[in-house]
Amino acid sequence: MSFFRASLTLASALALSAPALARGEATSVAAEPAGDAAAAEVPWWKTGVVYQIYPRSFADSDGNGVGDLNGITQHLDYLKDLGVDVVWLSPHFDSPNVDNGYDIRDYRKVMSEFGTMADFDRMLAEMRKRGIRLIIDLVVNHSSDQHAWFENAKTGPDAKYRDYYIWRPGKADGSPPNNYPSFFGGSAWSRATPGGDYYLHYFARQQPDLNWDNPQVREGVYDIMRFWLDKGVSGFRMDVIPLISKDQTFPDLSAEQLADPAKPYAHGPRTHEYLREMNDKVLSKYDTMTVGEAIGIADDEDHLFTAPERRELNMIFHFDASNVDRDGWRWKPWTLPELKADYDRLYTALGDKGWTATFLANHDKPRAVSHFGNDSPKWRELSAKALATMSLMQRGTPFIYQGDELGMTNFPFTSIDQFDDISARNLWREKVGGGQVSAADMLATLNRTSRDHTRTPMQWTAGEGAGFTTGKPWLAINPNHDRINAQSQQAKPGSVLSYYRRLIALRKQVPVLVDGAYRDIDPGHASVYAFTRTDGDARAVVLINFSDQPVDYALPDGIAVQAPLIDNGGGPTAAPGARRVTLGPWQATVYRY
**Residue of 86, 136, 139, 551 interacting with ligand GLC (CB under 6 A):** 139
Nearer to ligand GLC, 323 or 470 (CB): 323
Cβ burial, residue 85 (10 Å; 0-12/13-18/19+)? buried
- Asked if 80 and 91 touch (Cβ cutoff 8 Å), the reply is no
Quick check: helix, strand or coil at residue 292? strand
Nearer to ligand GLC, 237 or 592 (CB): 237
Nearer to ligand GLC, 151 or 364 (CB): 364
Nearer to ligand GLC, 56 or 502 (CB): 56
Residues 558-577 that bind ligand GLC (CB under 6 A): none
- Asked if 207 and 145 touch (Cβ cutoff 8 Å), the reply is yes
Nearer to ligand GLC, 238 or 551 (CB): 238
C-beta atoms surrounding 364 within 10 Å: 17
Q: Spell out, one character per residue from 286 to 315, where the chain touches ligand GLC: x when CB under 6 A holds, - when not.
A: -------x----------------------
- Asked if 79 and 49 touch (Cβ cutoff 8 Å), the reply is no
Residue 392 interacts with ligand GLC (CB under 6 A): yes or no: no
The full 3-state SS of 308-345, as one line of letters, equals HHHCCCCEEECCCCCCCCEECCEECCCCHHHHHHHHHH
Compute the distance between CA of residue 53 and CA of residue 454 in angstroms, rounded to an integer: 11
Nearer to ligand GLC, 410 or 423 (CB): 423
Compute the distance between CA of residue 425 and CA of residue 264 in angstroms, rounded to an integer: 25
Backbone angles phi and psi of 133, in degrees to 5? -95, 160
**Residue of 51, 58, 102, 413 interacting with ligand GLC (CB under 6 A):** 102
Min dist. Cβ of residue 593 to ligand GLC (A): 39
Min dist. Cβ of residue 182 to ligand GLC (A): 10
Residue 388 interacts with ligand GLC (CB under 6 A): yes or no: no
- Asked if 406 and 466 touch (Cβ cutoff 8 Å), the reply is no
**Residue of 209, 239, 277, 342 interacting with ligand GLC (CB under 6 A):** 239
Compute the distance between CA of residue 457 and CA of residue 475 in angstroms, rounded to an integer: 7
Residue 583 interacts with ligand GLC (CB under 6 A): yes or no: no
- Asked if 473 and 501 touch (Cβ cutoff 8 Å), the reply is no
- Annotation marks residue 338 as catalytic: no
> What own/partner pairs with CB < 8 Å and gap ≥ 24 does 427-434 have?
427/185, 427/329, 429/185, 430/185, 430/186, 431/329
Which of 60, 137, 239, 277 is catalytic? The answer is: 239
Per the DSSP assignment, residues forming a β-bridge with 540 are 533, 592
Min dist. Cβ of residue 183 to ligand GLC (A): 7
Min dist. Cβ of residue 260 to ligand GLC (A): 15
Nearer to ligand GLC, 6 or 98 (CB): 98
Considering CB under 6 A, how many residues would be counted as binding ligand GLC?
Answer: 9
What is the number of alpha carbons within 13 Å of residue 543 lying toward its C-beta? 33
Residue 260 interacts with ligand GLC (CB under 6 A): yes or no: no
Min dist. Cβ of residue 268 to ligand GLC (A): 16
Quick check: helix, strand or coil at residue 216? helix
- Annotation marks residue 535 as catalytic: no
Q: Are strands 315-317 and 289-293 parallel, antiparallel or unpaired?
A: parallel
Nearer to ligand GLC, 99 or 520 (CB): 99
> Measuring CA to CA, which residue among 315, 284, 319 is closest to residue 298?
319
Among left, alpha and beta (phi > 0; psi -120 to 50; other), residue 36 is beta
Residue 364 interacts with ligand GLC (CB under 6 A): yes or no: yes
Nearer to ligand GLC, 90 or 306 (CB): 90
Min dist. Cβ of residue 102 to ligand GLC (A): 3
**Residue of 203, 236, 372, 401 interacting with ligand GLC (CB under 6 A):** 203
Among all residues, whose Cβ is closest to ligand GLC?
102
Min dist. Cβ of residue 139 to ligand GLC (A): 6
Residue 240 interacts with ligand GLC (CB under 6 A): yes or no: yes
Min dist. Cβ of residue 52 to ligand GLC (A): 10
Cα 9 to chain centroid distance, Å, stands at 30
Compute the distance between CA of residue 404 and CA of residue 257 in angstroms, rounded to an integer: 34
Min dist. Cβ of residue 297 to ligand GLC (A): 13
> Measuring CA to CA, which residue among 68, 145, 161, 136 is closest to residue 104?
145
**Residue of 60, 85, 94, 99 interacting with ligand GLC (CB under 6 A):** 99
Binding site for ligand GLC (CB under 6 A): 99, 102, 139, 203, 239-240, 293, 363-364
The residues that are catalytic are: 239, 293
